[in-house]
Amino acid sequence: MSASNGITITWLGHAATTIDTPDGTKILIDPWVQGNPSTPDALKSIENLDLVLITHGHSDHMGDAVEIARSTRAHVIANFEITQYLGSKGIENTTGMNIGGTVQWKGSRISMVNAIHSSGISEGDSIAYGGSASGFVIEFENDFVLYHAGDTDVFEDMKLIGDMYSPDVAMLPIGGHFTMGPTGAARAAGMLDVAAVIPIHYGTFPALTGTPAELENALRKASDVKVVALQPGQSVDQEDLV
Ligand code: NI
Ligand code: MN
């Protein structure tokens, strides 16, 4: 538990993230937990969950969505195709949406935004169409705004995301290979005009070589954005980000 009066963000490693809000809501973004080598064992079983957000169909993001939705009865928000897929697995407590849309969830406004990536859902030897990859902007009831970029390259419309939503903090992939690396993430932070970046999607696999130190170096030239590098399982309170 946290002593924060605001939002508490806990990074579970890779893209998986939980968010606790002041009204007691628990949100899980990209529920890859059981098979996630970065997630501490003590945090692998998730209970009392209200909402799951899925950025795209790749297994390192969809992860345990079916099992977690089933066991916690949490509501799931994802793109239309992913919610259709979940429906075929018996998960009906979902809201399918698409890029540009906003869904109200209790006190939070959740907007799906663009990502430059792919979204196929692997199942055995085949890949099901998983719609478009996305990111999420969450505007919490206390006006704190978080942007979780999912998997993406940097793109110039991040400037538009910054202008439209004024995010306080961005969780940005920095590992490279499947996403942007530290140099791209530094450009993204500048366009988004955020106070802090929490780096994600690095270190999980050997190919994801980008590091928070490289992001700090890339940022130092241009801005005063704070890099908040968490250990998997570590939490940070809103007050320590802005
Ligand atoms: Ni991906
Ligand atoms: Mn990924």
Kindly list the averaged pLDDT for each block of 10 residues, start to end, along the chain of length 242: 77 98 95 97 94 98 98 98 98 98 96 98 96 98 97 98 98 98 97 97 97 95 87 97 92
pLDDT score for 3: 54
The per-residue pLDDT for 150 is 98
From residue 110, alpha-carbon distances to 76, 202, 210 in Å are 12, 25, 29
Q: Please give the distance, rounded to the nearest whole angstrom, from the Cα atom of residue 31 to the centre of ligand 1.
A: 13
How much distance in Å is there from the Cα of 233 to the middle of ligand 1?
A: 21
- Owner of token pair 């003590």: 42
Protein residues placing their CB within 5 Å of the ion ligand 2: 60, 151
The predicted pLDDT at position 57 comes to 98
Q: Which residues surround ligand 1, an ion (CB under 5 A)?
A: 58, 151
197 contacts 170 by C-beta, under 8 angstroms: yes
- Predicted pLDDT of residue 1: 45
Taking the CA of 205 as reference, the closest ligand is 2
* 172: helix, strand or coil: strand
Q: Is 136 strand, coil or helix?
A: strand
Distance 196 CA to ligand 1 centre (A): 23
Task: State both tokens at 107.
Answer: 């006190």
Q: What is the pLDDT of residue 222?
A: 64
Separation of 191 CA from ligand 2 center, angstroms?
A: 22
Q: State the Rg of the chain over Cα.
A: 16
- Measured from the alpha carbon of residue 115, the closest ligand is 1
